[in-house]
């Protein structure tokens, strides 16, 4: 049965892959994105250019913080099977410098969408959340029922607020809501401020890479195709559920750097800088709930995922080399 989905942030890393899966399954997708400069918008346009030729895809350039523009969209075409809110300001360190933009995108934007779902009787809402909600006081692997009331960054705090808003709309208005906490998503066409993209490009181009901390911090790297599969699986009716999607295998940053160096045939030139207080030393997802509710488990190993990232960069080097990078770790 063909359904129609509204996907926000559709030119983003995860959302473009989710959109691709929905289109491949024969569904209609209405995509919205502001194409802002949170990171180099040329990469967002690169992803969007690969979606726009598909006949079941309709794109609208708008910001989810613009409630009036969103309402016009819903008024024109509100027969959505679900709203998939993957639009967000992401990144731990930049949120410390400008917390306001994170609050607007992640809280106000989510509230606008939830209220329009209520107003136009959209019964399913999916919210992208983050492993950054887990803090230093949480034991690993992180479980969804852990205390997430002590976030270490404004980014994490804004996502926690969005989760709480989503629960309120489930409780008051009966909207079926899936909240997915993503763990360090990487893959081809990934964000240029994230570690894997940065390391691949910089090592391949004999540029120095910056590591905050000693490189022994570990992340539960999760391949984007696995994340997209889990996101689509969570569109089923679940009530209200918070679900981790992670690789279930923490890998030290130094090991990732070493493998990328081997794959590129280059030597990594590393500049170490002090760890940031908003970063945690380790992330690790307990994914038992995803297995139980979504019948989901990660399929792509870090070794295979990094191989694909390097191959993709080599194939798209001319387009990727001019991009501006950032310094977000994971």
Give catalytic residues, as residue numbers. 155
What is the DSSP-derived secondary structure letter of residue 133? G
Q: Check if the beta carbon of residue 126 is closer than 8 Å to that of residue 119.
A: no
Host H or E run for residue 20: helix 13-24
Rg (CA), the chain: 19
Length of the chain: 330
- Contacts with 295 (C-beta within 8 Å, 6 or more apart), sequence order: 233
Spell out where 23-175 has E strands. 28-33, 57-61, 82-85, 124-130
Q: Check if the beta carbon of residue 284 is closer than 8 Å to that of residue 220.
A: yes
Q: Check if the beta carbon of residue 44 is closer than 8 Å to that of residue 11.
A: yes
User: Measuring CA to CA, which residue among 279, 269, 133, 135 is closest to residue 199?
Assistant: 269
């Amino acid at each position: 049965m063909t359904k129609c989905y509204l996907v926000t942030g559709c030119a983003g890393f995860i959302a473009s892959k989710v959109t691709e899966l929905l289109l491949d399954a024969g569904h209609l997708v209405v995509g919205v994105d502001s194409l802002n400069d949170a990171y180099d918008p040329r990469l967002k346009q690169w992803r969007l250019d690969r979606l726009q030729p598909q006949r079941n895809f309709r794109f609208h350039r708008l910001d989810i913080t613009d409630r009036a523009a969103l309402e016009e969209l819903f008024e024109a075409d509100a027969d959505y099977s679900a709203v998939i809110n993957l639009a967000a300001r992401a990144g731990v360190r930049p949120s410390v410098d400008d917390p306001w933009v994170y609050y607007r995108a992640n809280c106000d934007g989510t509230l606008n969408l939830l209220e329009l779902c209520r107003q136009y009787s959209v019964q399913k809402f999916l919210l992208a959340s983050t492993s950054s909600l887990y803090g230093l006081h949480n034991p690993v692997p992180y479980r969804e029922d852990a205390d997430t009331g002590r976030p270490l960054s404004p980014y994490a705090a804004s996502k926690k607020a969005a989760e709480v808003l989503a629960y309120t709309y489930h409780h008051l208005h009966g909207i079926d809501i899936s909240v997915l906490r993503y763990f360090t998503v990487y893959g081809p066409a990934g964000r240029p401020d994230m570690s894997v993209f940065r390391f691949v490009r910089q090592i391949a181009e004999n540029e120095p890479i910056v590591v905050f901390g000693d490189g022994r911090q570990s992340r539960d790297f999760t391949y984007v195709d696995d994340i997209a599969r889990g996101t689509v699986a969570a569109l089923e009716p679940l009530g209200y559920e918070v679900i981790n999607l992670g690789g279930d295998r923490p890998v030290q940053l130094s090991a990732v750097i070493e493998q990328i160096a081997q794959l590129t045939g280059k030597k990594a030139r590393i500049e170490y800088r002090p760890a940031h207080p908003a970063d945690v030393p380790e992330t690790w997802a307990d994914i038992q709930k995803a297995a139980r509710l979504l019948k989901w488990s990660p399929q792509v190993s870090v070794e295979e995922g990094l191989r694909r990232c390097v191959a993709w960069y080599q194939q798209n080097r001319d387009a990727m080399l001019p991009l501006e990078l950032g310094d977000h770790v994971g």
